[in-house]
Structure 1
């Protein structure tokens, strides 16, 4: 594992009445402490060594939660130094980013602990050897990619970009052990029979049915562009006469339509399919799914315009053949099984876990503030 984070300790001097309380943790080499109450919980919680949560006494560090955002945070920190961004805004942003990632970090920590509990000392040592070797391979690959020759140079390179070798190692080991424990608890995926797949197919026929759909063109004559309804009606009559005389609908659209689609012949959605329920004009939609293909409709009148439509192509609703979706169905079933197994594993781990987090305390403080500022707060929070 990487070097332990520096010790975090409570201030031994006299503290005000709202002084923070702490939870201690030791790994045999160093002690860390988590601020779990008091208003100081909201102040400066984003240093790398800050413990933001404990899971069964083991710490989760701010650095672990902020690592994915380091490149952006470094730019923001430079903005703070340049006076372009208030420091308190950056602290709040960091806090929100950590709050976003804390649930996943807690789950990984629980899974990691679950794996360790199932292993004997010799097995843990063997896994640590494997993790060390695999992490070394990953580091060497990253060094080669960036043309870096030494570990020291690589560590400096990471620090310039807001990372550290120690935090990378922590994250790698945590993710790997969590994944392995979950995989072991889930077991091997079942071999699904064709009958089982067919049952799923029949239960989800709606998902594999392609709805009825049409491609169509339209002619739009707007009242406001022709001095009102009467002027628009005159233009509509000219267009209708040309259609009766056999002029191609697309050419009539290009000549008379007020829609921007006229340049492309009036194709709705650039010629894409339209399905039932997707149009706001129910009368037009009804005609599109009932009138013969190739037929031009009678005019439709609204409060703002006249329309004429033509069905170019229509397909009836069709059920996708089973053989075409068999592989997808198998993936869906196995995915659902994995998710169910994961929920069961996590529920069991959470049931017996003791978890403390600065985010829970922050929530309490926010609610207390609402209570002080708003006499109706109790009603709002219920």
Structure 2
């Protein structure tokens, strides 16, 4: 039997067909051109030899985008996704640097025990919370939901282990047992006095007319004077404001919450608020966009927190500064030891660089 008549397909599918009848086989280059990567498999960073896949951030990013989808124009969605990926990538890289540092130092037998404890912690505490917060019935439904967001239950488990170990390792590596002396606390207080200074502030009520709503200033003044006379005659300012005021809070009765001295655009209004006797109706005050009648309801003068009341806060600030300094030094050391690259680096994508 001739080879081209064998059962199993037309002659052109066999190597025995005449050259003119053969179908050309796709070349590797054309195959690669038609391949599409699976969602989440894009490498977005490398930490030493470890690749960071897009799926490690995509779940949280897509969930956030879903929550705010009504406020994001369709043509800006991908740009927002890339921006969020870049923002979240920094924390993931830090966690991986710390995780790898711990892995280098912890003995193998100890590492296995720690890893087992982390997996148990995920199953016992983290997983039930994830199921409840996602509104699903079990881990299978949770995995399906996570996959719809671009991640998976296994991916979230690995991320939990890395993140938790990194947090615990940082607590061991960063020590804040340095003595904080009274002299140091006093020195901080005097050199940061602006942090403990509270400017004068006041609460007030307002009747207002806008120049743009009237033919001229005379008509605007007449309209505001009528409202002011109603209040002087006994009408509640809040009711008058609701009926005719053009102020920002007119619909709520014209009341204004605590206003810090010097924060208003109108210097005339600011001066009146901080000089007018509490409870007294002001004369008409002209501002950049309109006319105002105000009544101050409460006022507090500028004050400085006494040292005795600031000591605890200062000590906490110093401890926080120490931790931040030690953490920055520790991370700088890790970054110097471990090459880090991300797709957001300005350098060539194929170049692995230290730092970020």
* TM > 0.5: yes
Aligned with 2:117 (options 116, 122, 130) = 130
Give the corresponding residue for 2:90. 103
Match status 1:67 vs 2:55:
no
Give the corresponding residue for 2:332. 347
Give the corresponding residue for 2:246. 259
Give the corresponding residue for 2:201. 213
User: Are the equivalent residues in 2 in contact too, given 1:66–1:97 (CA < 8 A)?
Assistant: no
Find the aligned partners of 1:96 and 1:193 in 2 and give their Cα distance.
Answer: 44
* Residues 125/229 of structure 1: CA separation in 2 closer, same or farther (3 Å cut): closer
* Residues 295/171 of structure 1: CA separation in 2 closer, same or farther (3 Å cut): same
* Residues 318/97 of structure 1: CA separation in 2 closer, same or farther (3 Å cut): closer
User: Are the equivalent residues in 1 in contact too, given 2:45–2:343 (CA < 8 A)?
Assistant: yes
- The higher radius of gyration belongs to 2
1:294 Cα offset (Å): 4.0
* Residues 45/198 of structure 1: CA separation in 2 closer, same or farther (3 Å cut): farther
* Residues 144/50 of structure 1: CA separation in 2 closer, same or farther (3 Å cut): closer
1:276 Cα offset (Å): 1.6
Find the aligned partners of 1:74 and 1:213 in 2 and give their Cα distance.
Answer: 41
Q: TM-score w.r.t. structure 2 length?
A: 0.68
Within a 5 Å distance, the mapping from 1:58-97 to structure 2 comes to 58-71=50-63, 95-97=82-84
Give the corresponding residue for 1:310. 295
* Residues 358/218 of structure 1: CA separation in 2 closer, same or farther (3 Å cut): closer
Of 176-185 and 105-114, deviating more is: 176-185
User: Are the equivalent residues in 2 in contact too, given 1:214–1:312 (CA < 8 A)?
Assistant: yes
Within a 5 Å distance, the mapping from 1:11-160 to structure 2 comes to 13=28, 47-71=39-63, 95-138=82-125, 141=128, 145=132, 148=138, 155=143, 159=147
Find the aligned partners of 1:352 and 1:298 in 2 and give their Cα distance.
Answer: 70
1:178 Cα offset (Å): 1.8
Counterpart secondary structure, 1:332: helix
1:344 Cα offset (Å): 0.5
Give the corresponding residue for 1:202. 190
User: Are the equivalent residues in 2 in contact too, given 1:155–1:164 (CA < 8 A)?
Assistant: yes
Q: TM-score w.r.t. structure 1 length?
A: 0.64
* Residues 286/13 of structure 1: CA separation in 2 closer, same or farther (3 Å cut): same
State the structure with bigger RCO (CA 8 A, min sep 6), 1 or 2: 1
User: Are the equivalent residues in 2 in contact too, given 1:71–1:162 (CA < 8 A)?
Assistant: no
User: Are the equivalent residues in 1 in contact too, given 2:206–2:293 (CA < 8 A)?
Assistant: yes
**Long gaps (5+) in structure 1:** 1-11, 20-39, 76-84, 366-382
User: Are the equivalent residues in 2 in contact too, given 1:99–1:359 (CA < 8 A)?
Assistant: yes
Find the aligned partners of 2:140 and 2:236 in 1 and give their Cα distance.
Answer: 70
Find the aligned partners of 1:225 and 1:67 in 2 and give their Cα distance.
Answer: 51
Tell me how many residue pairs correspond in the alignment: 310
Counterpart secondary structure, 2:204: strand
Find the aligned partners of 2:145 and 2:272 in 1 and give their Cα distance.
Answer: 66
Match status 1:185 vs 2:173:
yes
Within a 5 Å distance, the mapping from 1:286-365 to structure 2 comes to 286-301=271-286, 305-322=290-307, 324-360=309-345, 364=348
* Residues 364/248 of structure 1: CA separation in 2 closer, same or farther (3 Å cut): farther
Map Cα deviations across residues 81-110 of structure 1 (whole Å, 9 max, x no partner).
xxxx89xx9877655543333222222221
Find the aligned partners of 1:295 and 1:91 in 2 and give their Cα distance.
Answer: 56
* Residues 166/225 of structure 1: CA separation in 2 closer, same or farther (3 Å cut): closer
Give the corresponding residue for 1:228. 216
1:171 Cα offset (Å): 0.6
Counterpart secondary structure, 2:331: helix
**Long gaps (5+) in structure 2:** 1-26, 68-73, 350-356
User: Are the equivalent residues in 2 in contact too, given 1:46–1:91 (CA < 8 A)?
Assistant: no
